[in-house]
Amino acid sequence: MTSLVPTRSSTLPLVITTVVATLLLAVGILLSLGTGEIGLSPVEVLRTLAGQGDPFTELVVRDFRGPRVAAAVLVGASLACSGTILQSVARNPLASPDLLGINAGASVAAVAVVILAGGNGGVSGLAASVGLPIAALLGAMVSGLALYLLAIRNRQLDPIRMVVVGVGIAAAGTSLVSWLLTLGDVMVVGPALAWLSGSLHAVTWPAVAGVGLTIAVVLPFLLAWTRRLDVLVLGDDAAGGLGIDVHRTRVLLLLLATALAGVATSAAGAVVFLALCAPQLARALSRTSRPPLLASAVVGAALLTWADLAARMLLSWVGFGPVELPVGVFTAVLGAPYLLFVVSRTRSTSLEGRRP
């Protein structure tokens, strides 16, 4: 008797997606480490990474571009994981930390720190290097908590309510940010705006380590829980009947998604749409019934690495000189049409799939 496993949905597209995304990620990393004012060939980059470079290339690769490229990889992966979790928890392809207001919470807190602590001359010293990331993380946690409290009905976390409440929190957060910006003086508003548009420009190794550590803790746990996610997308009653404590599972997953998004945002600012697109792109390519966790993480990392490279170099490639775009602007330009595409394709009656 042959196993039924082959007649279940094929895992081949998933494997191919993961492998191709990993290759694209590796190429992106090499190119990104080698591209800039000082150009290095991929071979030179590899030699430097292997510890055989001269002190100068080492300085460029490790100290100048290293944190930035590592941040792109890790921030991309953690935003994508966060989106994957939220989309499975809310059973909705539109759920992501940006649309559910988690990033808005981070933005409000970060901008508040910049405006209120900055005074004239912008944020500096402790407020910038420690205060801002921690404020952003706390802000994300606060809106995650608000989302949880407001989306509870009959002691259950209602997925539809979660999306509606999340959109509300995001809107409230965005208007708070606008108001805060009108309070600050021009010198201070500049850096706040730069942070808001999402930039990997000023990322430091400690911030990168924070994101890396969070992923290192959360990802193995999530991978052990993939079957739980598989069951959770079948609906609350079906999942409950299969022996899952739906409420507890959802709350824990929401907490993890918030932590991932909060840490990523605290390091890189508001990088929008990535958490929305990467999981759905991975899902479409690997033809799975929910966004696949590992593949989404790799796709997210690859997307942000390439987006950062493009944001960094695009204007100089077309002859504008060495002017950088914030990577968040770039992901927004790519992500907005995608969002419209999803909305237009989603059946108006149900965001959850089809009824029998």
Partner 1 sequence: MKITGLSLGYGERLIVDSVDLEIRQGSLTVIVGPNGSGKSTLLRGMSRLLRPRAGTVHLDGVDIADVSSTDLARRLALLPQAPVTPQGLTVGDLVARGRFPHRAWYQRWSDADDDAVRRALTRVDLLDRSADQVSELSGGQRQRAWLAMVLAQDTDHLLLDEPTTYLDLAHAVEVMSLARDIAHESSRTVVGVLHDLTLAARFADHMVVLSAGQIVATGSPDEVVTSALLAEVFGLRAEVITVDGAPAVVPTRHR
Give the interface with partner 1 as residue ranges (CB under 8 A): 1, 3-5, 7-9, 91, 154, 224-225, 227-228, 230-231, 233-235, 237-238, 240-245, 283, 287-290, 350, 352-356
Choice between 8 and 319, CB closer to partner 1: 8
Residue 1 Cβ vs partner 1, minimum distance, rounded to whole Å: 8
Task: Give the separation between CA 258 and CA 339, rounded to whole angstroms.
Answer: 21
Residue 255 Cβ vs partner 1, minimum distance, rounded to whole Å: 19
The two three-digit tokens of residue 260, written as one number: 């991932």
Choice between 164 and 223, CB closer to partner 1: 223
Residue whose pair of structure tokens reads 């539109």 in the numeric block: 94
Choice between 189 and 239, CB closer to partner 1: 239
Residue 328 Cβ vs partner 1, minimum distance, rounded to whole Å: 30
Choice between 9 and 175, CB closer to partner 1: 9
φ and ψ at residue 153, rounded to 5 degrees: -145, 135
Cβ–Cβ < 8 Å for 120, 192: no
Cβ–Cβ < 8 Å for 32, 72: yes
DSSP state of 130: I
Task: Give the separation between CA 64 and CA 312, rounded to whole angstroms.
Answer: 14
Choice between 10 and 41, CB closer to partner 1: 10
Measure CA of the first residue to CA of the last residue in the chain; give whole Å: 32
Residue 82 Cβ vs partner 1, minimum distance, rounded to whole Å: 20
Residue 294 Cβ vs partner 1, minimum distance, rounded to whole Å: 15
Region of 56 on the Ramachandran plot (φ > 0 left; ψ -120 to 50 alpha; else beta): alpha
